[in-house]
Amino acid sequence: MFREACTLSLWFSCICLFYGYGTYASFYNYSTTTQCLVEPLESLYGGGIIVNPEFNNNTEGWEVFGQGKIERRLSKKGNRFLVAHSRRNPLDSFAQKVQVEEGKIYSFSAFVQVSEGTEIVAVVFKFPNREGIPGGYVIAQHRCWTLLKGGIVANFTSPVDIVFKSKNRAVDIWVDSISLQPFTKDEWKSHQDKSIDEVRKSKVRIQVTQGNKTMANAKVSIKQTKSNFPFGCGMTHVILTSPGYQNWFTSRFQFTTFSNDFKWYSTEVVQGREDYTTIDAMLKFAKQNGISVRGHNIIWDDPNMQPLWLKSLSSEDIGNAAQRRINSVVARYKGQLIAWDAVNENLHFRFFEDKFGENASASFYSAARQIDPDTTMFMNEYNTIEFSSDEQASPVNYKNKLQQILSYPGNANLKEGIGLESHFAAGQPNLAYMRSGLDLLGATGFPIWLTEVSVGKYENQPQYLEEVLREGFSHPAVQGIIIFAGPEISGYNETVLADNNFKNTPSGDVVDKLLHEWKSATQDTTTDDQGFVDVSLFHGEYEVTAKYNVANASATLSFKVTKTNPQAVVQVQMDT
């Protein structure tokens, strides 16, 4: 049973998160991911392959890692947990050695606390003769048990030590309810498919009537005309002069991000001479073809991505120039974009913070919001879900920066979005780490977009691209995906989807397959004895046509399927 931390009001969400349905605990219900608990909950999956996950058998299965000491302790309420103390190095803690198998995905979880203050604690997978691979992070607090989630994908069969890390050697690390659960890729995909059915589709009942009479055995055809999930592709200015690129793009995508043309260094090459000609032409093309556009970006925090003339200015003049930039570009395109990447990569870089203090990014958000309050303003960052060794951009640090921006005076009601670039390197993506990051950030309630998806050049690039896209689409917190890819002529050279003749590459075949798979196929069916048809449809816009040959009657109706209406009834009324 649950320990006291799971109060009555949390009972159902705890059931979903830690026990799930069937054999798979719901990683998609992230409502308790960031909660502070007086006592930890029970181990997920009963600990999986972990020996003694709740320390009921003293320290069996666990040993000291590095220097320092470990001991089992008992809380006032009788809960047993493990403590690493007298630590001299960041990795001094405790470890358990387990065997991982090549190709399997290992989902990790544990409840963590520290002896004082607040510290970032990581789980590290230490393979023999290799550097440790971080598998997840948590902001651990004193007097509070917080869930650490993460994991790895094993690239080879090997023993591995599971170790905990804190850079502050003065704090003791407390851990309880540890779990490491393996999944095959087929099992992982089946979980993705189940989630897609639950979060991207709704059940719809269609009834065909004529006057007051229900029409049994009427022929019904249901056709999707538009998808509600934004699955788009980056766009470069080359599209303006290439009919082939235009046809390739418009036949597939209704959402885009201009890859470089909105950036400050593109629109103001010479100080004081703004040129929006290219953006205006691209935006006109997008509007003519029903393509929605994300604005990328207003300000970039990378010192190497500023207009060349900016760096020679005084700090005061840089501040004035940045304000003019915001006033100009945001006002010009107010109401024409579905989003802004307001400040780009402000976890990795701090060009403006170094000049104007820690609230520089927050002040830029405030300025943009005052001009365009109805457009969602995104943080946009790389390595947050794609590279676990980059602690600087980890999900916990992303969340901290987000909270800092929102706490700035006037930003409390900011329409904020979470932009995750998702530039995956060549090689197997760590889907367990990706999912745990989406869980943690999804718990904020802000919309998540994968904004610049790409996968490094590699013989298995098509497979890995599909795995990343499926993971994103199956997660309920993800509300849009843009891939930074395209035909060879577009200039995207990391993930190429078509050659110069616009013939698909294998990665292009993956994208086309998913575009088709994530759209309801036209369904031709017949009503039952009560005039009903029951179907499960992807969220989007539809057209239904009903025919009754005996009476030579027919009718056509348009309707929408949304996640806010999980059991819709659509009535098709035939003329008498």
DSSP state of 44: G
Q: Is 345 a catalytic residue?
A: yes
474 touches 448 (CB < 8 A): no
Angstrom distance (rounded) from CA 65 to CA 187: 33
pLDDT tens for each residue of 232-247: 999 999 999 999 999 9
State the pLDDT at residue 21. 29
Angstrom distance (rounded) from CA 203 to CA 254: 25
Share of the chain above pLDDT 90, in %: 88
State the pLDDT at residue 422. 98
Give me the mean pLDDT over the 546-550 stretch: 85
Segments in 301-375 forming alpha helices (H)? 315-332, 351-356, 360-371
Angstrom distance (rounded) from CA 349 to CA 343: 11
Which tops the pLDDT comparison, 253 or 16? 253
Which tops the pLDDT comparison, 12 or 315? 315
State the pLDDT at residue 35. 77
pLDDT tens for each residue of 45-98: 999 999 999 999 999 999 999 999 999 999 999 999 999 999 999 999 999 999
Q: Rounded to the nearest 10 degrees, how much is the dihedral formed by the CA atoms of 443, 444, 449, 450?
A: -60
Is pLDDT of 26 > 60? Answer: no
State the pLDDT at residue 130. 86
Q: Rounded to the nearest 10 degrees, how much is the dihedral formed by the CA atoms of 424, 427, 432, 434?
A: 0
Which tops the pLDDT comparison, 574 or 152? 152
State the pLDDT at residue 23. 35
Is pLDDT of 341 > 50? Answer: yes
H-run or E-run covering 199: helix 185-199
Q: What is the mean pLDDT of the chain?
A: 92
pLDDT tens for each residue of 521-533: 999 999 999 999 9
H-run or E-run covering 339: strand 339-344
Exposure b/e, 318-356, CB count within 10 A at least 16 = b: bbebbeebbebbbeebeeebbbbbbbbbbbebbbbbeeb
Is pLDDT of 36 > 90? Answer: no
Q: Choose the catalytic residue: 54, 119, 345, 386.
A: 345
Give me the mean pLDDT over the 228-233 stretch: 97
Q: Choose the catalytic residue: 54, 119, 421, 452.
A: 452
Q: Which residues contact 544 (CB under 8 A, 6 or more apart)?
A: 206, 220, 221, 222, 223, 556, 557, 558, 559, 570, 572
Residue 34 binned pLDDT confidence (cut-offs 50, 70, 90)? low
State the pLDDT at residue 564. 83
Q: Is the dihedral of CA 301, 305, 311, 314 positive or negative?
A: negative
Q: Which domains are assigned to the chain?
A: 8-183 (2.60.120.260), 194-224+520-574 (2.60.40.10), 262-289+307-505 (3.20.20.80)
H-run or E-run covering 22: none
CA distances from 189 to 105, 471, 472, 478 (A): 11, 9, 12, 17
Give me the mean pLDDT over the 463-492 stretch: 98
Q: Which two tokens stand for residue 424?
A: 């995956």
Which has the minimum average pLDDT: 9-18, 272-281, 394-403, 421-430?
9-18
State the pLDDT at residue 551. 64
Is pLDDT of 33 > 90? Answer: no
CB atoms under 10 Å from CB of 141, counted, come to 16
Is pLDDT of 14 > 50? Answer: no
Is pLDDT of 198 > 80? Answer: yes
Length of the chain: 576
Is pLDDT of 321 > 70? Answer: yes
DSSP state of 394: -
Is pLDDT of 550 > 90? Answer: no
pLDDT tens for each residue of 397-454: 999 999 999 999 999 999 999 999 999 999 999 999 999 999 999 999 999 999 999 9
State the pLDDT at residue 574. 83
> 488: closest CA among 475, 501, 478, 506?
501
Exposure b/e, 463-494, CB count within 10 A at least 16 = b: bbbbbbbbbbbbbbbbbbbbbbbbbbbbebeb
Give me the mean pLDDT over the 355-367 stretch: 97
State the pLDDT at residue 549. 79
State the pLDDT at residue 230. 98
